[in-house]
């Protein structure tokens, strides 16, 4: 894992190793973060595509604007459950989410 990517992750609040030995995510940890970022980016893209505000999306799933902002910003303090609920509410199907994770869905 290159340092640029690590820095970006740490800025977002991910605990990428201790302060002393700030190195190496396991492949599982990398994949986990990768999946989360894919989904959060998809939410941002789909919401924009539909012309919704963060406020609108938030109300539609019983959440709040600040949570949606954090979700789209890749904040680690947001659960995948909330991210998936947002995606589904935006009209994304389970199948499309699958394609997203497969890497076959650069733009839905």
Partner DNA sequence: TATATATATGTCAAATTCGGCATATTTATG
Partner DNA sequence: CATAAATATGCCGAATTTGACATATATATA
Q: Does 68 bind a second copy (CB under 8 A)?
A: no
φ, ψ at 84 (rounded to 5°): -65, -40
Residues in contact with a second copy, shown as a per-residue x/- string from 37 to 66 under the rule CB under 8 A? -x----------------------------
> Judged by CB under 8 A, which of 53, 56, 64, 93 binds a second copy?
93
State how far the Cα of 99 lies from the Cα of 22, in Å rounded to an integer.
Answer: 33
Q: Does 35 bind a second copy (CB under 8 A)?
A: yes
State how far the Cα of 108 lies from the Cα of 44, in Å rounded to an integer.
Answer: 12
Q: Does 67 bind DNA (CB under 7 A)?
A: yes
Largest CA distance in the chain: 44
Q: Does 4 bind a second copy (CB under 8 A)?
A: no
């Amino acid at each position: 894992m290159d340092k640029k990517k690590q820095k970006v992750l740490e800025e977002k609040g991910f605990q990428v190793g201790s302060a002393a030995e700030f190195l190496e995510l396991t492949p599982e940890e990398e994949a986990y973060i990768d999946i989360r970022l894919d989904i959060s980016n998809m939410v941002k893209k789909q919401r924009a595509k539909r012309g919704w505000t963060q406020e609108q999306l938030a109300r539609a799933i019983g959440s709040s604007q600040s949570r949606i902002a954090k979700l789209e910003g890749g904040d680690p303090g947001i659960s995948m459950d909330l991210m998936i609920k947002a995606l589904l509410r935006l009209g994304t199907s389970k199948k499309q989410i699958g394609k997203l994770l497969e890497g076959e869905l650069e733009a839905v």
